[in-house]
Structure 1
Amino acid sequence: IAERLPQIFPEGTEHRNYLIREMAAKTIYVMFYAGAIEGSDCWVRPSQVTDMTDEQALLTDTESRKAWVKMMLSNKKKKPGNPWYAANSREPVRDETIRTGLIPLQAVVVRQGIPTTSSKPTYALQKGFSELFSINLYGDDLDAAIENWQKRYLSKAAITRLKLMKDYGSEDSESVQIKFPDGAIRKLEPGPSSLISKAVIEEFAPRFLKKPKVLWLSESGNKVVAQDEALAKALGLQIDPSRTLPDIILVDLGDDSSGLEILVVFTEVVASDGPINRQRKEILTTLATEAGFDPEHLAFLTAFLDRSSQPFKKSISELAWGSYAWFSTEPDYIIDLREHDESVKLTSLSNRNK
């Protein structure tokens, strides 16, 4: 079970940490042990997971399992010798592993007609999900079964996110080709940073900018991949590679109807660390204002692979107010870290988002 969970719930799955940890594997094991599979009319409650012991788990014959279930659900339940978890661990099993992790992804079904405050057992494995753990299923057959289950039971948004996670998480190719807004092709060394850079230019730019241009693109080791000197000169921006420049500088040239409003988007790509924090934002703002740009024509973006990735979790507390965060696996969405000089009510923000 522990080996297959990361395959069933790959990188990019929401609340993946709850779904692939040991507690999840043990929860699923207890459901199998008790025969709690959709259609069997057998159910478990969290206390059965916390009270299970290694000794009991080894007694896999039918009579031993039935006797254990009967004893665990009786009023004269014996105190287990060395339980898997402390009694107060029932909440993480119920609230994190089952309710937050497994139920939303339809891996676990809930017994109907039972009050939420009832102590009766109410959880069972969804039948299709339970079949993914068959010992007779392996290799290509296992991969196909997992993919079919994901397509059938995960939401469209979840499937899209997993696909993009796979596409932008692959480092198998010898180089990463990026197609610029003007059709030009550039190559970067393979790696997670290059894949996120590709997503920024190919996915973010056309979605969030009216008329995007790539002014600057670099990769690890400050290697300059692309630099539009003519555009930089026209904008009055001094692009000095010896200075601390971001990974990507995008420019939105707007359109005629908008009065050719120009927006310079300083972008940091974070595969491990290095987001746009307060200090980084100040440095980049100084660079632009020295070139004569109004701060209102500047934007600051930190690009990540996915919300569930460790780099984002590590960086979120550092992200500068007045900047944006974007994820290549959810290209249609953006986090706006707004800053306001005066108090703003949620009603006005809500209306602004409609």
Structure 2
Amino acid sequence: MATIEEAQEILEALGMPSAQTNRMSGLTLLALCGLKPNDPWSVANRTGCTVTKSIMSHVKEHYGIEYAPNTRETFRRQVLHQFIQGGIADYNPFEPDLPTNSPRAHYAITKAALTVVQAYGGEGWPGVRTTFLREQGSLAERHARDRDRAMIPVTVGDGNELRLSPGRHNELQKAIVEQFAPRFAPGAQLLYLGDTAKKDLFVNGVALQRLGIPINDHDKLPDVVIYDAERNWLFLVEAVTSHGPVSPKRVVELEEMLAACPAGIVYVSAFPDFKEFQKHLKGISWETEVWLSDAPDHMIHYDGDRFLGPRK
């Protein structure tokens, strides 16, 4: 029978991303197919469906689920747009020349997807599903490839490459590793590098433990930790794109955390540019350093008895 759960299973089997296998997506598929709760999947059909008067009304009438009128954009942007990308729905197939803002704009299940849906639960299901995926491809896999292409490659000191998730914060972290470290800590070793999507992307647990740094407190570490063995200096670098420079409060927290560390501590607030730096001028602690990635050869020193070095 045409249940919401089975509709979600079909979407997952057809390679839709997890965000498009939720309840709203399952209900949308049922509406596109014109199915009611007691209908078998074999009677699915292809008709033009508007969002409000067809899809949302069908869901309310036959499945007892009412969505607020302002959710029609959610249906369009979070479900139907991805259905089109995944070869599950067509846009305006019966009137392809309709203007974009036409009230007759409609969606319909594709002929290829309809064949698969009608076969669900029968002996031919595995074969038609395989054919669909071979011809249409999996949208989940395509999204994964797109995300992988968007990842930010970072080359660490040993020549290995890490991949950070896309975003301004991680662009700055890349600059810290590839531009700051070679200039101000040549030959130093990367010990820790977080990621906006994975906090412990790179952790040299052995080296951190040797330096008396609690390896179970990754969430308390700065964004980038670099160790210069020749000078026995530990660089703690915060990548600042919206908040979080090395403030007096942050210094106290880190000093308590690193009480057993024998290395000299160098605190650095890194900014992408002077404009971002200006936003945080009052929050930066004295006796720390500031580095701007758009002026990588220079450092701004906040007081202290030396240009660059440990506080004590």
TM-score by structure 2 length?
0.48
Q: Which has more radius of gyration?
A: 2
